[in-house]
Structure 1
Amino acid sequence: MSLFRQLWLAVILVTLTSFIGSFAVSMHSTRSYLEQQLHRKNIDSANFLALTISQLSKDPVTIALQIAALFDSGQYESISITSPDGKVIAERMQDRIDTTIPEWFIDFFPISAEAGRAQISDSWMQFGVIKVVSHTHLAYQALWEQTENLILWFLVTGTFGGLIGVLILYRIKRPLAAMVDQADAITERRFLTISEPRVPELRSIARATNDLVRRLHNRFFEETSRLEALHKQLNYNAVTGLANRKYFMSRANTLLHEEDAALGGVLLIIRLNDLAKLNRKFDRTVTNNLLGQVGTLIDKIASEAPDRLSARLNGSDFALIIPDMNDAGHFAKQLTMELTALLPQTDGEITDFCHIGAIHYQRGDKLDTLLANADAALATASKLGTNAWHAAAMQSDSRIDTSGRGWGQNFTDAISENRLKLVLFPVVGATGTPLHQEAVIRLQVQRDGDWLAAGDFMATTTRLNLTGSLDLGVFRLAIEMMHSQSGELAVNLSAETMADQDYREKLAQLLRQHPDLCRRLWIEVPEYGAFNKFETFRDFCHTFKELGCRLGLEHFGHHFGEIQKLTDLGLDYLKVDASFVYGIDQKKGQQKFLKGLCGLAHSVGIIVIAIGVQTETEQKTLIRLGFDGVTGPGVK
């Protein structure tokens, strides 16, 4: 039984006990009072009749008239006169009077008043004894009315007291409910503080739990800061803030070989000239400041591209990868103009500040080959003159034919005609047991054509504003699949659909029709989309957690410094990006970072899954570091 039911039961029992006690005392005192009044009335009536008859003649007619004058008032049950020898001289008795008072009430509260007696004299002789017994129906009527009044007042005061009790209990329940929510949040490893209630006992408890939550949050924040510093130390250049060579190579391999990566893009190699001359003329602080500005300029290029990658490869060479971009010359020209704007800071020591080589790439290309081609484009740029750039010619990709006027309609038709299918990849737990199946989309753009991977068409569907319809089709397929087979299923949701309120509501309505399947459904959103529209992502989590779905982030790790934002969302899992996983068995520093990441996520109740695992050695290393699951080409 809940606390509030117990409180209500206690209030009701106390109220009933008080009422029964007061009712019993009131009824007893009222009945005693009525009995006393009846007894006095009997005595007074007997004395009055005895005095009257004593002064009159004692013939039967006169006696009968005197008795009748009093008896006919209807207030008496019997009046009798008996002689000294016990003979009845005159007597009047009244049958029981009909009344509206219930019999059970009369039986439960009997009223008995002693008869009134008085002596009648005849001169100096005793004539007889008169006995008067009043009728009790009026006393019962008064007692019944008293009972009705007591019950009425009890109902009125009980109702009023109940309303007051409701307000008091609500005042107590509100902070208690907040404390229960806080306790639930703590069990879910979410940091939730509450306002301190006015009730002193509750205030001390709330203050203690708030202090506990703050200590946990501070500890989490400290651990996050420590791991973020380690992450930057391992993967970023301290001077420019760009990725270092190792991190660049790892992420570039991911961009080139993951099937959900972009179909292609551009790669730029930027070389700064005569940095040694700057170091000789100025101190290292000036040079580092200039390099920092260069890093900022490179990182800002194509900032709207979520998967862009910028890095410092060595002292003077920088790299920039921009997926889903075709015009390499545009970015090379723009970056050259912005970099040459920094020339005045060299005090005229350098006139030929930079050269840029740009090439196009396609998913599946080898990174070594791309870097060699980019170096060749850079060499060509250096031959073109001062601060020159060169973009190699783009090779066409036949996987998506965007020629012709109706190519956009082909995508619309493919989605409306449901030319979609899902391909499943296993995600296994630390013990090797299946965790869930990850559903990856395939789209047939041309009728009877090839089935394309997500990376081949997602950029195009985004430009055509078709991602919402595409995602709804994917979830319908997932629901059909879950109806036909057991197990749990993970489905990717694009950042665009997550941010679109209309499509988000349509998806919620679709899932509400299948509440039994929601418990088996894992929904994951790209990390960049979640953090770029965080408040929208918060609303998304609130809606779909209520439906019972498990929620997670995929390709996690590039916004690690913002992980503290996730503590109150109720996320269930994180899928760490393959760039952190690639060759992890040989990267001791990265192992330390990932182990800390797993511990940090586990401290807030989030499981961690590695994606892009290619070898059994990587899988064993990741499990040893604390990962709860793995998936990738090397996972069977």
Structure 2
Amino acid sequence: MIAEIIKKIWDLYYIRSRENGPEIVRAQYEACSSHLPLIHVILLTSIWGVSLTSKDCAPAWLAFSVPVVFTVFSVMRIVHWTSTRSRFMTIGQARKAMARTRLLGGLLPVVVSCWALALFEVGDHVVRVNIAYFMAISGVCIVVFLMHLRIAAYQIAIIVYVPLIGRLLLTGDTALMTMGINLAVASAMLLTIVYVQSRHFREAVYSKAALQKASEHNQTLANLDSLTGLPNRRLFFSNLDDEIAFAQKNSRRLAVGILDLDGFKAVNDLHGHNIGDQLLMQVAERLNGVLGSHVLVSRLGGDEFALLIKSRNSNSELLLTGEKICSVLRTPFFVEDVRISISGSIGYAVYPDVARTPHELYECADYALYQNKRANRGYPGLFAKEQAHELEARSMIEQAIRAADLEKELTVHFQPIIDIRSHRVAALEALARWESPMVGTVSPAVFIPIAERSGKVGEITLILLKKALAVASEWPRDVNLSFNLSAHDVSSVERVAKLAAVVMQSRVDPRRIDFEITETAAMGNVAQTRAAVAALKTLGCGISLDDFGTGFSSLTQLHAFPLTTIKIDRSFVSELDKKPASYKIVKSLLALSRDMGVECIVEGVETAEELAVVTGLGGRYVQGYYWSPPVPASELGAFLSARKADAPAHDVSKSETIKPRALVS
């Protein structure tokens, strides 16, 4: 029967404690772990004070039994609460602890009050005053300490003060009765303060919890990509730092893969950014579906993703995983009933095989991706140790570019474009040359891509254009200037405006300027490139499409550009007289240019046989070492005078009769 009553009382307190949220329970527990030892010290001091005051007028068993028992109990509770400060308690454990505290807050005051009132009955006036004083002061301290645990504070205040006040009022002693009245008023005010402060405590706890949740949410947003929900660049590099530290400590391998989507820009240009965003979300879903928990997938930005592979990272397994990813990405996507086909290229780097720091590992993977997109687009590739020298050289060149006095170090050479019908120089193509005091002479094929990646290419273009126009202003008016632009140069209205400003400030008629853009650059951002080309053509400049036939564009897209010239890439011209496939390609491209109503320049003509084939196919403009290598600006005047005064270095008046050996049936 007693056990059932105790269980019902416990259930009542425990169920009551479950009404509070976990934030309140946690805050109450933390407060109790620091306050309850002090409360027990106060109770011990008060009880022993009452006991010692009453020892002369009360039996020894009554005066000392409760203090002794309570001392043992309090010491146990002090040890318990002191030891739990350093231990983590679950919410369930904290709820039980709070339920026990409330229960003890109801039982202990009953015992102590009964004992104190028993001493009150046998004591004289001084003893009674001391008992009332000790109980009142102790009650105030305990209630204040427990105001965050409102029920316990109410229980103690009611159990201690109601009997004490009632007994003081019944004594008939004026001083004690006055003390009782004052104590009644003070206790009422104390309970009011407990109610207000308890409410403020709860509000503060909930505000702190809400603020913490908002902070965690903001932290999550700061570390996750808002579009795909994947970890972003910041979280990727944070995880990379941690994983490399772990791998270093445990002598483990770690692989980083950089994934770039092939053809994504064309999707954005053709279907719009909304379709592009949905495509990126589907890509993220496929990557998470094909990769396990041992691979952390992040979105670095744009159409670039990162893979952090913490296990199964032998070279063969990495390539196998990469093949699986690339195969999944080659499967067509369907976005709003639009069928989209793209692919993905991956560059891998492995710690500690090729790099030992997060930055080096990322750079190696990025370089592997860069090389792979050039040589093996749509497939995975590993950074090889022999590429480390190339990467180091590229890093040195990039540093040299950033530190260079470009106005002083950049020069322009010119290669003639010949009209083979009249043997005259129709135009001169400006070619960049860089002589660096740090790294020596650097080919434009090397430093221009590095400048594009480092963001310096825009500055280089403007410097070279100014120098080329200054030289071209001294040429005969029938000689045009051909100047190359990168994808970066036509990527925004602001950059095109700077080009136009340089042209307008020069002494060269814009109609004598042909800007060359590669087919790949033209397809990078079709809409912006069209706008840039249109703006330059409005000035009167010609627009040439360089490396024609080597890109990935369709004829329909190219026809939409206001082109004036196309240039057949040298890869189709090399040994043209010996390769039937090259012969057919050049023949088709020359016919295509005539159908499009644009001029055609054949690049890379280096032999009389190649020239003969081009002439036989009806080509008119050629460029290549057969006529002249690039000439420094300082030697250009003499070259132009020689070309005007002399007969052509190679007589092609009869070249149309020469039959290419490999094409003779």
Task: Give TM-score, length-normalised by structure 1.
Answer: 0.38
TM-score by length of 2: 0.37
Task: Point out the structure with the larger helix share.
Answer: 2
Larger radius of gyration: 1
